[in-house]
Amino acid sequence: MLGDWVNLMGHQKAAYEILTTLYSPQTIMQNETLRKILLWYIRFDLFVGFQSASETVLGREWFDACHDYYVQQLRINPHDLTLKYEERFAYSRLLATDVAILFSRKNKGLVSDEVFTAELADIDQRFLGFEQDIDPILLDPSALITDFTGAPPRHPDDIVDPYDHRLLYGGDLWTTNHLLLDFWSIDIMYKLQLTMVQRRPPPQEVVLRAYRTCQLFEAIELYPGAPPGAVIEARASFGIATLFLPKDERHITWFRRKFAKIEISGYVSSNNFFPCASPLPNPLIFPLNIN
């Protein structure tokens, strides 16, 4: 969407300069439009940071101020569904920021092994607690979709079952799907960086989570009642998950079909998921000249 790696970094630098010149972590939280601008930049900054194995350009205090705002608002309006979602999204990005900072400092030799191990233990506990701390209202099983009338039949070469009745949330809880995808992708990237530092293969749980991510992505794609733009919203999480799945012909063909769907839904280039300058393992190139 933003072209090559150099273009991507140029856009990030320009956005950062505008943001930090005009606003502070406190003033940017003053109205809804500014908060949306900050959230857009935060997602952008985290994406580039994970891709380059570096910390975010925007300081942690911005992420902290964003999360603190929604915590305070939720105390005032404890039953507001939107605020419940915003708080969890903000916390997941704060957690992702702390992961990026820790690994960047480790790669630069700025933390001892003892400090790194201690901070890693804290982050592990925060990851374990994230889903447990999601308000049960946002995970109400009565909102799970069981009727897929009008959806196309499963493709014979599908690698997942998109019509699992324990998967897709509907109605007022549709955003739960994106909340889970958002957290799963951050968790996957955390595990990836951890395995690179520890020089060991990714644990099986990462592969299972990657399959779950693909399963939810396809459910969002195929569900007739999905809101417009839902596939585009889920694209980054799906792209990350493909790194951890087998690279046999069946899987690669399935990936290509999904990236083609993203392509025709308005996303310019599937290769932008993994710019070629990225240090992350990129075992797949997805040519979209598909018959």
> Is the model's pLDDT at 100 over the cut of 60?
yes
The answer to the question of residue 158 being in a domain is yes
Residues 157 and 244 occupy one common structural domain: yes
> Is the model's pLDDT at 282 over the cut of 50?
no
Residues 205 and 228 occupy one common structural domain: yes
Confidence of residue 5 (pLDDT cuts 50, 70, 90): low
Residues 127 and 6 occupy one common structural domain: yes
Mean pLDDT of 245-257: 94
The answer to the question of residue 181 being in a domain is yes
Q: Which domain holds residue 251?
A: 140-282
Number of domains in the chain: 2
Residues 131 and 144 occupy one common structural domain: no
CA dist 202 → 174, 245, 246 (Å): 30, 11, 13
Q: 79, exposed or middle or buried, with CB in 10 Å at 0-12, 13-18, 19+?
A: exposed
Distance (Å, whole) CA 122 – CA 106: 15
Residues 171 and 87 occupy one common structural domain: no
Residues 131 and 169 occupy one common structural domain: no
From 91, 113, 135, give the residue that closes a domain. 135
Confidence of residue 174 (pLDDT cuts 50, 70, 90): very high
The answer to the question of residue 203 being in a domain is yes
The answer to the question of residue 291 being in a domain is no
